[in-house]
Amino acid sequence: MFKLYYNPWRRAGNRWVRHRHNEYFRYEDALAIEAECPSVKFVVPRLPRWERVLIQAEGGAEARSEYNGGTPVYAEAMNWNIQIGRFITDEDIANPTRVSVLGVDVVETLFGTDSPLGKEIKIGMGRGRERHQRKTERFTVVGILMPRWHSLRYGHSYDEIVYIPLTTMQQRFTGNDRVGILDIHAHTIKDIPKAIEEVKTVIRKRHKNYDDFFNLWVMKDSMGQLEKISKVIKITLGSIAGFSLLVGGIGIMNMMLVAVNERTREIGLRKAVGAKRSDILLQFLSEAVVMCTIGGTIGVGMGILAGEGMAMLAVKIVKIVPEWPAVISWQWVLISVSFSAIIGISFGLYPAMKAATLPPIEALRKD
């Protein structure tokens, strides 16, 4: 997906100046892009108003909420289902109807547990210099959206937004036919570069060859930045884990060397009664492996508890999504425990070999 943002400013030397032309996005641009760009799947024209305005219900309840002007394709492009009622329709766009679709938080604030369908709300523009910006309009509630929670990119809650038809918002509030944002969805990620060129061609054709009145944001580029950050985090955590394993391995080797030194007479006695070098080697090597395996198992258990605890804490503090599951990969659990056993073999090998090569006579003389 990529977005086109209307921007009336351009850079001129060390300062920003307004464009001399008066080009801007219209609803017809979205229809033209859908019709003429084969790489494009959806075009979602939007007119967002992020400032919180006063929303009033029939019974007098009030809420401060954002509102957006949209089209029927918005819910489909966002893969957002309706909980009750319906979303904006083509008829609402063709005949700018005064209908609204509410997020669940707006419904709870204004109506509590009562159904808002068929009831009216009043949307006020709040502060504004122009007359049409100070209007208060009535809208009939026709639908409630499923919970969506917060946007990870912008931080605002989708559940606190009121959606009205784009053309109604233009007619009743803005007083013009301008559209602020075009959300454009390509068929596949590979189609995005081609879709961008096709969209620019359509925009130039419809706007006197101007293509400097908007900014382009590509989600793929942001994902690339996130992947770089993720790689840095993985390298950092991998380095810390590697250093921790090295320190832990050295600690295990030291403990096994101490064990060999303290059990010298036991080693000599076992050899005196017929134990082979391989038996002594296997004994101490097994002890090192068991020690690491127990430590790895305890670490996995603590990691699972920590993950579950952090997930619960994240839901209560961050409040971006209703639940934040801690995903446990049992494949990696097995790999972790196996790696602990390998560490035990690697760092327990030298103490075990030292124990196996002790001469029995000298071992029996040890106090």
Span 227-243, average pLDDT: 80
- How far apart are the C-alpha atoms of 182 and 3, rounded to whole Å? 6
pLDDT of residue 321: 57
Span 307-317, average pLDDT: 77
- How far apart are the C-alpha atoms of 266 and 205, rounded to whole Å? 92
pLDDT at 237 over 80: no
pLDDT of residue 91: 95
Pick the closest to residue 283 from 265, 270, 298 (CA basis). 270
Is 240 in a helix, a strand, or coil? helix
- How far apart are the C-alpha atoms of 34 and 184, rounded to whole Å? 9
Tell me which residue has tokens 């008829």. Answer: 91
> Residue 152: pLDDT band by 50, 70, 90 thresholds?
low
> Residue 150: pLDDT band by 50, 70, 90 thresholds?
low
243: its two tokens: 């250093």
Q: 10 or 183: which carries more pLDDT confidence?
A: 183
Is there a contact between 182 and 202 (Cβ–Cβ < 8 Å)? no
362: its two tokens: 């000298």
Per domain, the residue ranges of the chain are 2-212, 228-365
Span 5-15, average pLDDT: 80
Q: Please, what is the average pLDDT of the chain?
A: 83
> Residue 316: pLDDT band by 50, 70, 90 thresholds?
confident
145: its two tokens: 């959206």
Q: What percent of the chain has pLDDT over 70?
A: 89
Residues 154-209 have pLDDT tens digits of 557 888 899 999 999 999 888 899 999 999 999 988 888 899 999 999 999 999 88
Span 99-110, average pLDDT: 93
Residue type, 101: V
154: its two tokens: 């912008």
> Residue 126: pLDDT band by 50, 70, 90 thresholds?
low
- How far apart are the C-alpha atoms of 201 and 206, rounded to whole Å? 9
Is 257 in a helix, a strand, or coil? helix
Is there a contact between 53 and 123 (Cβ–Cβ < 8 Å)? yes
Span 11-40, average pLDDT: 88
pLDDT at 66 over 60: yes
pLDDT at 271 over 90: no
Residue type, 348: G
Is there a contact between 136 and 123 (Cβ–Cβ < 8 Å)? yes
pLDDT at 153 over 60: no
Is 21 in a helix, a strand, or coil? coil
- How far apart are the C-alpha atoms of 93 and 80, rounded to whole Å? 19
Residue type, 131: R
Write the DSSP assignment of 165-230 as a string of letters.
EHHHHIIIII-S--B-EEEEEESSGGGHHHHHHHHHHHHHHHTTT---SEEEEEHHHHHHHHHHHH
- How far apart are the C-alpha atoms of 94 and 113, rounded to whole Å? 33
Helices (H) and strands (E) counted in the chain, each on its own, are 11, 12
Return the bridge partners of 181, or none. Answer: 5, 46
- How far apart are the C-alpha atoms of 163 and 169, rounded to whole Å? 10
363: its two tokens: 């071992």
pLDDT of residue 22: 86
Is there a contact between 185 and 40 (Cβ–Cβ < 8 Å)? yes
Neighbours of 15 (CB within 10 A): 7
Is there a contact between 339 and 293 (Cβ–Cβ < 8 Å)? no
Give the angle subtended at the CA of 314 by the CAs of 313 and 318, to the nearest 5°: 125
Here the contacts of 280-283 (C-beta below 8 Å, separation 24 or greater) are 280/352, 280/355, 280/356, 280/358, 281/352, 281/353, 281/355, 281/356, 282/352, 283/352, 283/355
Name the strand (E) or helix (H) holding 300.
helix 277-317
Residue type, 343: I
Span 220-245, average pLDDT: 74
Span 21-46, average pLDDT: 92
